[in-house]
Amino acid sequence: MAAKFRSRKSYRFAFRSSLYIVIISISVLALLQWRFSSINWGILISAAIFFFIISFVTLQLRIEKFIYKRIKKIYDDVELLESSTILSYPVSTDMRTLTAEIEKFAKDKRIEIDTLKIREEYRKDFLGNVSHELKTPLFTVQGYIETLLDGAIDDKNVRKKYLIRANKAVDRLIYIVKDLDLITKLEVGHLTLEKHSFDIIDLIQSVFDLLEMKAAKKNITLTFDMDYVDPIFVFADKEKIQQVLTNLLVNSIKYGNDNGTTEVSVENLVKNKVIVRVTDNGEGIPAIHIPRLFERFYRVDQSGSRREGGSGLGLAIVKHVIEAHGEKIYVESAVEVGSEFSFTLEKSIVQIEEVQ
C-alpha cells in the first residue's frame, strides 16, 4: 500500500539563515554608509526587512524542493518493506522529526533482524533434532528387516524376536509423530480445548494408577502430600490436563532415583486458582539447563548414548497446554536434591461457591 506523502513544513532553518543574511548584509550596508556619509536608519530597517523577506522565501522554497525530493525518495524505498511502521505516519521534511523517525525505523529493523537470526538458529536446531529422533528408530527397523531378508527369516525364533523389536521401533516413530502433530496444533492455535469441571484429585489418582507399573520398575512411590478427603474441582480440559500430569510424572520416574518418591500436592493459590505441584527427590537439573527445558527436543543429557528415551517433546507439550489454558508453569530444581514442576489451574465455579 502506497504511503500517503504529506510534507510537514519546518521554517526554522530558513528563518535562522535569513537572520544571518540580514545581519551580515545590514552590517556591510551600515559600514558603507558610515564610511561615505551618515547612517540612515530608515534605509537600514527597510533594507533589513526586504533582505529578510527575500532570503526567507528563497531559502524556504529551495530547501523544500531540495529536501522534499530526496526525502520522498527515501520513503519510496522504505515503502518496499510492507511491514515498515514508518509509513503509517505523515512524511515530514523537518530534519529533527525525520531523523527521529529514521532512527526508530532502523532500531525496529535491527530488532527484526536479530529475531530472524534467533529463529533461523532455532530452525536449524529443530531440524537437526527431528532428524536425530527419527533416524534412530528408522535405522533400527531397517536393520532388523535387512537381517530378516538376508536369511534370518527362516529361523522362527529369530524372526519373531526381530519383528517384535521392529514393531517397538515403529511404535516409537508413531509416538514421536503424534507428539509433533499435537505440539504443532498447540503452537498454531488449532487445538480446541473442551473445558468442564472435574475433580483434579481423582484425575491425579487415575494417572498414579496408570503409571504404577512403570514406577514399580524403579521402586518409586507415587503419592499425595496429604490425604485429600474432599474433591477439588477445576475448570479445564480434562484430557489435556491428564496428559500434562502424565508427562510430568513420567519424567519424574525416568530421572528419579531408585527407591525414590514423587509427590503431588494441590494447594489454593488465590480465590479462583489452585496450584498443582509435582515434586521428586531425583537427580535434579543443573541451573544452566532450566531456561531451555520447555524447548522442543531439548534434553539435559546431550550425549548420543542417553539413558532414557522419549520423544523429547513432553515438556514442550506441557508448557503449550498450560499456556493454552491461560495459566502458568514453573520449575525449581537442584542437582542431587530433586525437582519441582508446578502449574496453576482455574477453580471450578462449584468449588468457589463451596469455599464461599
DSSP string, 154-181: GSHHHHHHHHHHHHHHHHHHHHHHHHHH
* Phi–psi pair at 199, nearest 5 degrees: -85, 110
Query: Is the pLDDT score of 7 beyond 90?
Result: no
Q: How many domains does the chain divide into?
A: 3
Question: Residue 275 belongs to what H/E stretch?
Answer: strand 273-280
* Domain's final residue, options 48, 79, 110: 79
273-296 b/e (C-beta count within 10 Å ≥ 16 → b) = ebbbbbbbbbbbbeeeeeeebbbb
Q: Provide the 10 A C-beta neighbour count for residue 127.
A: 10
The whole-number average pLDDT for the span 60-69 is 73
Question: Residue 110 belongs to what H/E stretch?
Answer: helix 95-149
266 and 130 both lie in a single domain: no
208 and 341 both lie in a single domain: yes
Of 71-85, 111-125, 177-191, which range is least confident? Answer: 71-85
> What pLDDT does 122 receive?
64
| Residues near 6 by beta carbon (within 8 Å), at least 6 away in sequence | 90, 91
Q: What is the pairing mode between strands 273-280 and 338-346?
A: antiparallel
Asked whether residue 283 is assigned to any structural domain, the reply reads yes
Query: Is the pLDDT score of 87 beyond 50?
Result: no
The whole-number average pLDDT for the span 114-133 is 71
By C-alpha distance, which of 303, 244, 310 is closest to 278? Answer: 244
203 and 297 both lie in a single domain: yes
Query: Is the pLDDT score of 304 beyond 50?
Result: no
Please give the residue range of the domain that contains residue 276. 196-346
209 and 161 both lie in a single domain: no
The whole-number average pLDDT for the span 287-315 is 69
> What pLDDT does 308 receive?
53
221 and 144 both lie in a single domain: no
> What pLDDT does 3 receive?
45
Of 78-87, 129-138, 147-156, which range is least confident? Answer: 78-87
Asked whether residue 4 is assigned to any structural domain, the reply reads yes
The whole-number average pLDDT for the span 164-168 is 83
Asked whether residue 338 is assigned to any structural domain, the reply reads yes
210 and 314 both lie in a single domain: yes
Asked whether residue 183 is assigned to any structural domain, the reply reads yes
* Domain's final residue, options 25, 60, 79: 79
200 and 159 both lie in a single domain: no
Quote the cell numbers at residue 243: 496428559
The residue length of the chain stands at: 356
The whole-number average pLDDT for the span 67-88 is 61
64 and 19 both lie in a single domain: yes
Beta strands across the sheet bearing 221-224 = 221-224, 261-270, 273-280, 338-346, 329-334
Asked whether residue 103 is assigned to any structural domain, the reply reads no
Task: Look at residue 265 and give its three-state secondary structure.
Answer: strand
Asked whether residue 109 is assigned to any structural domain, the reply reads no
Can you tell me the distance from the alpha carbon of 328 to that of 270, in angstroms, rounded to the nearest whole number? 14
Query: Is the pLDDT score of 95 beyond 90?
Result: no
By C-alpha distance, which of 24, 28, 22 is closest to 48? Answer: 22
Residue 277 — pLDDT band, cuts 50, 70, 90? Answer: very high
247 and 286 both lie in a single domain: yes
Who has greater pLDDT, 200 or 65?
A: 200
92 secondary structure, DSSP code: B
141 and 42 both lie in a single domain: no
Question: Residue 16 belongs to what H/E stretch?
Answer: helix 12-36
Query: Is the pLDDT score of 75 beyond 80?
Result: no
Quote the cell numbers at residue 15: 528563518
- How many Cα atoms sit within 13 Å of 250 on the Cβ side? 17
245 and 307 both lie in a single domain: yes
Residue 249 — pLDDT band, cuts 50, 70, 90? Answer: very high
Residue pair 234/197 in contact by the 8 Å Cβ criterion: yes
Asked whether residue 45 is assigned to any structural domain, the reply reads yes
Query: Is the pLDDT score of 159 beyond 70?
Result: yes
Please provide the average confidence, as pLDDT, over all residues in the chain: 78
* Domain's final residue, options 188, 209, 242: 188
Residue 341 — pLDDT band, cuts 50, 70, 90? Answer: very high
> What pLDDT does 1 receive?
40
* CATH number, domain with residue 240: 3.30.565.10
Asked whether residue 176 is assigned to any structural domain, the reply reads yes
173 and 219 both lie in a single domain: no
Query: Is the pLDDT score of 315 beyond 80?
Result: yes
Q: Per mean pLDDT, which of 9-13, 36-40, 91-95, 288-292 is the most reliable? A: 288-292
Query: Is the pLDDT score of 12 beyond 70?
Result: yes
